[in-house]
Structure 1
């Protein structure tokens, strides 16, 4: 028994010595040109698939993904953040993509064998040692599902055409690919002041207001153009569609909630309603899109947005039904 233990200890010491030599002396060739040793790629890919299968949310958590506005929102983000590695549907992989190790699969191949819940986990978490990043903002499942909705449309060969940006594209054109063309969860900007919009752009840029989609967008344009962009979109009519009109019963419930308050939390209208002097303490919500309002209220309630304690306090006890009603009320107001 003693001989066996000594042999095991010697083997462990040799293994440790070899590992130290590989790390300290640089014996392992990290060149992407050299690639992996035989069998390593199979091991890594098998581990990858099993890891995703184990950790992906259940299929019951998958929302409806066939909404055209949701797909369009995901497509807009994919066009700028994902195309450089995975390409657009029907597009041949670039020479740079083909030279990467591991080579990122062209988008049709990348999504072919995954379920929606598995795609969600991949987009949200990224994959180690592949260059695939995790989602840039925590708690923004709504944005991740938008990208998944687009990927599922690619699977079904019904994906909308991507509006790919070129080096000569103006920031206004880039931003307008969502704002003014996509409804649903994308807000109307023409209801808001230029000063408010610029402040929000800076908040997205700093991470104060977490959003993977807007973080990508706001860091893709020169910072010195943000004020100009805010003014442009505050003055540009938004012609995108909106959700169907809510029932009168839902709107009435929303109005009652908006006019309620507590000793610690004022009514919604105290900040978002128009005062006698025509001013508001908070941003204009009247006529804003229901989908956007529902998402924003949920983020405040769940603490994903935490930069305004009063807003979090106002929303933290809202149920999903309350949020739906408030969104319906302000969208109709």
Structure 2
């Protein structure tokens, strides 16, 4: 038994000495031109696949990935955040991207062997030592589904063309805020001061959104004032579907209900601009309002304690009713 322990100790000592030599003396060549030692790539890739499969979220939490608005929103983000490394469908990666070790796969190859929930985990969490970053905003897995919807459309060769990101910033913003419904808010009913404030919060991370943090980071500071003025003046006409009258009645009842400590929804978000404490939300898309209320309910948005207090007691049914009611009010 003593001989066994001595052998194990000797092997451990040799392993430690080897590690010291590799790390301390720089024996391991970190050049990207050399690549990994034989077998290392296989070990890393196998570990990667098994790790993703273990941690991928349930598809029960996924929205409708065939929703055109969700796909278009994901395409808008992909165009600036992902295409520089993975290229657009039908395009080639740059020579620099292809020279990386490991090289980011072309998007057609990247989506080929993954399920939507696995792609969600990869986009949200990123991959260590690969150059693949995590989603820019923590706890915003709801946004990640838009990119997954676009990737799923690529997989079945049904993806829309990416928006033009080479033109003026205002046109790029309008590609989402004027043409996409669903989770994208209208800006024409919001004042320039409010839009400017939110853009600053997206840039500094105090208002968590991976999509908007990326978009806001592309705006040169000297163009911000003109962008805000232009966006607040552009109208967007979106149709809303008919809603259950009972749901709308419930929504109005909730919107008019307040307490001694928490004012009614309409007290802060209704009426004219001079009397509003918060932004105008009448006429905003129903899906957008649902997401926003849930973010306040869950405490992911926490900048306004009063708003969090108003939302945290809401049930899922309450959120459905309020979103239905406000989305159908005349702005």
Q: What TM-score do you get using the length of structure 1 for normalisation?
A: 0.95
Partners of 2:2 and 2:61 lie apart in 1 by 55
Note closer, same or farther for the CA distance 1:251–1:98 as it changes in structure 2 (3 Å cut): same
- Closer, same or farther: CA 35–242 of 1 in aligned 2, 3 Å: farther
Q: CA deviation at 1:242?
A: 4.5
Number of the residue aligned with 2:258: 261
CA RMSD of aligned residues (A): 1.3
**Offset at residue 93 of structure 1 (A):** 2.2
Tell me, what secondary structure is at the counterpart of 1:177? helix
Paired residues for 1:150-299 under 5 Å: 150-166=150-166, 169-239=167-237, 241-274=238-271, 278-299=274-295
Deviation per CA, 1:176-196, whole angstroms, max 9, x where unpaired? 221212111110000000000
Q: Deviations over 1:44-93 (max 9, x none)?
A: 11111111111111232222111100110001000110001111111122
Counterpart CA distance in 2 for 1:22 and 1:243 is 64
Aligned mates of 1:44, 1:164 — CA distance in 2? 36
Q: Report how many residues are paired.
A: 329
Residue 277 of structure 2: SS of its match in structure 1?
Answer: coil
Distance 1:248 1:124 in 2: 38
Give the Å deviation of 1:243: 4.2
How big is the shift at 1:36? 0.8
Asked if 1:103 corresponds to 2:103, the answer is yes
Say whether residues 1:318 and 2:314 are aligned partners: yes
Instruction: Tell whether the 8 Å contact from 1:80 to 1:164 is kept in structure 2 after alignment.
Output: no
Q: Give structure 2 stretches of 5+ with no counterpart.
A: none
* C-alpha distance 248-67 of structure 1, shift in aligned 2 (>3 A): same
* Structure 1, gaps ≥5 residues long: none
Contact 1:137 1:210 in 2 (8 A): yes
Q: Secondary structure at the match of 1:158?
A: coil
Shift, 1:205, TM fit: 0.7
Paired residue for 1:307? 303
Query: What SS does the aligned partner of 1:233 have?
Result: helix
Contact 2:170 2:227 in 1 (8 A): yes
Show the counterpart of 2:76: 76
